[in-house]
């Protein structure tokens, strides 16, 4: 038997950890010795690291915040030199821009625009060497580069820079003066360059436009999207070198993308769109745009006349509407106890018949679900009897409605039909059966459900049981949910996970103002069984506690989350907490959370949803005379 060399036994994770430690030690040593040469070597990737530069924990990514701060302080006092410039470029490429920004500002003070351009060209060369495309650079630096090109009247050079390093949201004319110190005519010239080139990258091709729209939508940047739309409108008359429009609002996919972006970023209290935005007449639109407009009616106040008009134009194009959108519209209209939900269903049904297509079961299910939610179970059963191709989802909707209104005859009839039509039940079906039996005070409800699974040749697993527990908990049947948990852990011997417990813990907090005690007891049970807490568990629990306006539960959970070694408090968690406190006017909790964030150095407010809610909170606290 041949022994394996020790070096060959080192795992990939061990190698990564060794690499990280090596870089950390090298950088720390360079800072301690105040050696630019050592720092330069430690920051630059080796040949073997270049291809993995974005993912490897090398360079500045490997050091802590205090070391970064020490580097920044040291370089501030270092005399300018080519080596310092090279180090600052590497720092900027790794996310630390302040040293390079200082050099750039110094260049403007010395009236040396050429140095700024030279530094940027070195950035481009460095990223080309490491195959890092496109260049990810602080937009404040890009503002300075464009301003430098404006001083030598080189618009093409400025445009090339913007296309090479895509700007972020803060690439605006307002950033010119702070980053360059320019004034008078030079400032005006630089600002005009930045204004003109702000959306140059986004509008360079349909692909980049779609990408920028998608990112801005995810970041909730509604104002940016409106500005981008205005820029595209302004360019409608511009043509490229070949005499053809590069990107155009007339493009069906582009127009539809703008509709979706503005729809998704619309919030309660959002001002109406300007008159010239998304105002193209319906007859000029095509399938994607019409479906996007239909989707927009799902958000906010639904105008039935508008919905019918859009459906009419789709019908004229002999195109069917998106079934997800139609299902959501029907469900929403019926939830508002509006007859128009049925009217929309009838129109869509006629459109499918005209095209010779069967009506999708999803749309039928949306109608049934809406009808059962507003207490029109009899009408739902009439629609069901006329359906073709009912699915298990269809039956689950109707079974749930029958169970909740204690309609035993309908419940039993539907369960029999499942067997007769050979439709396989799922976890939801078994959960509703369990709820039905409990409502009938059956002495062995869980046993009957287990036998039914066996009769259906279904071997219950953790997924099925977890779904059943989730539904029981959401219906408020906490004793049954815990009893089922006891059964699968103690009798079935199935290993549970944190997901199994998450539903019960969240439900305790959502159902009762005193739910914190029960939730904590369930979390202690998790610990005893060796189950680790997860970020998702805390996030669901915090959300539930906010919805039920628990006074202490969010704080208990946050402190507990902070103590867990394998759980990190993310910006999204902080956003949920801050918004929950703000929406319920718990301003003292908002202030306390701000102090918590600052004292634990958890997150910096940035130009995103979290940053905006923090700004709103600070303004509100200032109105109430709080210092924050």
Length of the chain: 628
**Residue-wise DSSP of 178-216:** HHH---HHHHHHHHHHHHHHTTTTTTS-HHHHHHHHHHH
Residue 117's pLDDT is 93
Residue 136's pLDDT is 80
* Confidence at 54, pLDDT banded by 50, 70, 90: very low
CB 90 within 8 A of CB 59: yes
**Residue-wise DSSP of 210-270:** HHHHHHHHHTT-HHHHHHHHHHHHHGGG---TTSS-SS-TTSHHHHHHHHHHHHHT--TTP
Q: Kindly report, residue by residue over 239-258, the tens digit of the pLDDT.
A: 554 455 678 888 999 999 99
Does 213 map to a domain? no
* Confidence at 60, pLDDT banded by 50, 70, 90: low
CA gap 20, 210 in Å, rounded = 37
Average of pLDDT values for 11-17?
A: 42
| CA-wise closest residue to 80 among 121, 125, 118, 32 | 118
CA distances from 258 to 113, 244, 265, 422 (A): 38, 22, 11, 45
Q: What percent of the chain has pLDDT over 90?
A: 43
Residue 567: CB atoms within 10 A of its CB come to 19
Does 239 map to a domain? no
**Residue-wise DSSP of 505-574:** HHHHHHH-TTHHHHHHHHHHHHHHTTPPP-HHHHHHHHHHHHHTT-SSHHHHHHHHHHH-TT----HHHH
Domain that holds residue 573: 569-628
Does 577 map to a domain? yes
Global confidence as pTM: 0.70
Q: Is it the case that residue 628 has pLDDT exceeding 60? A: no
CA gap 108, 139 in Å, rounded = 17
Q: Is it the case that residue 577 has pLDDT exceeding 60? A: yes
Element (H, E) at 40: helix 36-43
Does 251 map to a domain? no
Residue 605's pLDDT is 62
φ/ψ of residue 35, rounded to 5:
-110, 110
The DSSP 8-state label assigned to residue 370 in this structure reads H
Does 169 map to a domain? no
| CA-wise closest residue to 181 among 91, 102, 76, 84 | 102
Does 102 map to a domain? no
Does 581 map to a domain? yes
Does 238 map to a domain? no
Q: Which residues contact 210 (CB under 8 A, 6 or more apart)?
A: 253, 254, 257
Residue 589's pLDDT is 93
409, burial (CB in 10 Å: exposed 0-12, middle 13-18, buried 19+): exposed
Average of pLDDT values for 191-199?
A: 95
More confident residue, 327 or 431: 327
Q: Kindly report, residue by residue over 19-36, the tens digit of the pLDDT.
A: 444 556 777 777 777 777
φ/ψ of residue 5, rounded to 5:
-55, 145
For helices 36-43 and 82-93, give the axis angle rounded to 10 degrees: 30
Domain count, the chain: 1
* Confidence at 512, pLDDT banded by 50, 70, 90: confident
For helices 340-354 and 361-373, give the axis angle rounded to 10 degrees: 170
Tally of helices (H runs) and strands (E runs) in the chain: 32, 0
Contacts of the segment 39-48: beta carbons below 8 A, 24+ positions apart: 39/71, 39/87, 40/83, 40/86, 40/87, 40/90, 43/87, 43/90, 43/91, 43/94, 44/90, 45/130
Give the alpha-carbon dihedral of 190, 192, 193, 195, to 10 degrees. Answer: 120
More confident residue, 156 or 302: 156
The DSSP 8-state label assigned to residue 286 in this structure reads -
CB 393 within 8 A of CB 423: no
CA gap 486, 108 in Å, rounded = 71
| CA-wise closest residue to 223 among 176, 271, 257 | 271
């Amino acid at each position: 038997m041949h022994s394996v060399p020790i070096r060959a036994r080192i795992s990939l994770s061990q190698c990564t950890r060794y690499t990280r430690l090596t870089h950390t030690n090298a950088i720390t040593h360079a800072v301690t010795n105040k050696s630019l040469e050592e720092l330069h070597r430690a920051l630059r990737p080796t040949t073997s690291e270049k291809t993995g530069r974005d993912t490897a924990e090398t360079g500045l990514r490997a050091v802590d915040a205090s070391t970064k701060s020490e580097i920044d302080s040291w370089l501030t006092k270092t005399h300018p030199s080519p080596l310092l410039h090279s180090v600052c470029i590497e720092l900027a490429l790794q996310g630390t821009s302040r040293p390079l920004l200082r050099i750039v500002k110094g260049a403007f003070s010395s009236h040396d625009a050429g140095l700024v351009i030279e530094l940027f060209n070195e950035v481009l060369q460095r990223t080309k060497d490491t195959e890092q495309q496109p260049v990810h650079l602080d937009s404040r630096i890009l503002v300075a580069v464009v301003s430098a090109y404006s001083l030598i009247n080189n618009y093409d050079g400025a445009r090339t820079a913007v296309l090479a390093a895509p700007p972020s949201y803060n690439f605006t004319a307002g950033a010119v003066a702070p980053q360059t110190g320019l004034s008078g005519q030079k400032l005006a010239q630089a600002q005009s360059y930045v204004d003109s080139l702000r959306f140059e990258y986004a509008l360079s091709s349909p692909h980049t436009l779609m990408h920028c729209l998608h990112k801005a939508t995810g970041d909730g940047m509604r104002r940016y999207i409106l500005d981008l739309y205005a820029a595209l409108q302004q360019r409608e008359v511009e043509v490229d070198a070949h005499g053809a429009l590069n990107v155009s609002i007339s493009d069906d996919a582009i127009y539809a993308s703008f509709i979706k972006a503005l729809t998704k970023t619309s919030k309660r209290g959002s001002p109406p769109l300007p008159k010239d935005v998304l105002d193209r007449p319906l007859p000029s639109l095509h399938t994607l745009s019409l479906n996007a407009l239909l989707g927009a009616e799902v958000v906010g106040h639904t105008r039935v006349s508008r919905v019918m008009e859009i459906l009419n134009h789709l019908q004229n194009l002999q195109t069917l509407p998106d079934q997800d959108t139609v299902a959501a519209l029907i469900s929403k209209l019926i939830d508002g106890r509006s007859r128009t939900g049925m009217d929309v269903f009838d129109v869509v049904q006629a459109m499918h018949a005209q095209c010779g297509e069967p009506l999708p079961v999803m749309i039928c299910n949306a109608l049934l679900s809406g009808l059962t939610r507003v207490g029109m179970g009899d009408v739902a059963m009439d629609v069901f009897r006329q359906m073709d191709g009912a699915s298990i989802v269809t039956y689950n909707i109707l079974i749930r409605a029958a169970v909740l209104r204690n309609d035993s005859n309908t419940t039993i009839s539907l369960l029999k039909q499942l067997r007769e039509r050979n439709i396989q039940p799922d976890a939801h079906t078994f959960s509703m059966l369990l709820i039905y039996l409990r409502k009938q005070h059956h002495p062995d409800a869980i046993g009957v459900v287990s036998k039914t699974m066996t009769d259906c040749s279904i071997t219950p697993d953790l997924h099925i049981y977890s779904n059943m527990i989730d539904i029981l908990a959401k219906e408020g049947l906490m004793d049954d949910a815990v009893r089922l948990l006891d059964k699968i852990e103690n009798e079935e011997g199935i290993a549970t996970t944190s997901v199994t417990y998450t539903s019960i813990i969240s439900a305790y907090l959502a159902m009762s103002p005193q739910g914190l005690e029960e939730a904590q007891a369930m979390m202690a049970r998790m610990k005893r069984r060796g189950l680790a807490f997860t970020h998702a568990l805390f996030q669901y629990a915090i959300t539930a506690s906010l919805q039920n306006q628990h006074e202490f539960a969010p704080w208990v959970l946050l402190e507990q989350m902070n103590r867990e070694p394998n759980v990190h408090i993310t910006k999204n968690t902080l956003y949920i907490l801050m918004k929950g406190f703000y929406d319920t006017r718990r301003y003292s909790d908002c202030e306390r959370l701000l102090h918590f964030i600052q004292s634990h150095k958890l997150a910096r407010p940035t130009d995103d949803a979290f940053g905006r809610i923090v700004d709103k909170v600070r303004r509100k606290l200032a109105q109430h005379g709080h210092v924050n």
